[in-house]
Chain A
Amino acid sequence: MQITLNNRKEEFDRNTMTVLELLDEKNFTFRMLVIKINGQLVKKADYGKAIIKDGDDVSVLHLISGG
């Protein structure tokens, strides 16, 4: 499948994946994240069951302290 991840096209060798699988595959190890699939918020508790499929627009925003 092909998805848009943070405004960039990415190919994955499978038909669907959970948010958790995406984070694992991309080696995103940050914990302070805001994740959206097609503009819809995915809460942390749902990372293991939220499904990403072909054509989805996924944002993984990493936020850090300081201000």
Chain B
Amino acid sequence: MQKKTFKEIRTILAARTVGIAGAGGLGSNCAVALARVGIGRIITADFDTVSESNLNRQYFFKDQVGMKKVFALKENIARINPEVLVEAFDIMLDPHNIPQVFGNCDLIVEAFDLAEMKIMLAETVLEKMPGRIIIMGSGVAGYGNNDSIKTVKSGNIYICGDQENETCENLPPLAPRVGIVAGMQANLVMEILLG
């Protein structure tokens, strides 16, 4: 383990920008973790609004139901660490806008819900932003089985999760496992940015 004081860590991270694609379960929790350790800038994009059913895992509050997720997230980060610059895009990400939105990011955290969107982001980055690191989440549903959650690496793509448990009626995404994977993504961001 690389040893650095928190002051040294903050100094390095303050100069860095992380893109977070999606501001739901993975994105909101990952963003808050990175904000707490002093990342300089977060660029996040999501088209969705906070709903009651999100509160079992996403970093939002009951009085934020109905708000756009990216603006609610920006508000929450400002309350935790106002020094973090949050650029919030209330848009649906697609192959056309991803290079524009995340072009200046040191790396990109994939924090979508749907597999189709995860694949779209990976394909877009591989094709249009070659070399850029993507930290993905895959396999977060259910509860228990801590040790099944891991990270696999393939070139510039890292995937955190159990790679197995897909969300369905009997396997809901819930705060503990979603939080673990979001935390792993944030932890990997730090590991890569701090060297």
Q: Select from chain A the residue with minimum beta-carbon distance to B172.
A: A66
> Chain A, 39-56, contact with B by CB distance < 8 Å: what is the 0/1 string?
111010000000000000
Q: Select from chain A the residue with minimum beta-carbon distance to B122.
A: A34
Count of CB-CB pairs between chains A and B under 8 Å: 77
Of A34, A39, A61, A65, most buried by chain B (CB within 10 Å of CB) is A65
B118: chain A residues within 8 A (beta carbon) = 32, 63, 65
A59: chain B residues within 8 A (beta carbon) = 154-155, 157
Cβ of A7 < 8 Å from any Cβ of B?
Answer: yes
Q: Known contacts A6-B154, A41-B123: does B137 contact A67 (CB below 8 Å)?
A: yes
Query: Measured between C-beta atoms, what is the minimum distance from B98 to chain A in Å?
Result: 14
Q: How large is the interface on B (under 10, 10 to 19, 20 to 34, 35 or more residues)?
A: 35 or more
Bound-state CA distance A6–B154 (Å) is 7
Cβ of B40 < 8 Å from any Cβ of A?
Answer: no
Query: Measured between C-beta atoms, what is the minimum distance from B133 to chain A in Å?
Result: 13
A62: chain B residues within 8 A (beta carbon) = 138, 163
A-B contact pairs, 14 of them (CB 8 A): A33-B119, A34-B122, A43-B123, A61-B122, A61-B159, A63-B136, A63-B159, A64-B115, A64-B138, A64-B165, A65-B114, A66-B173, A66-B178, A67-B25
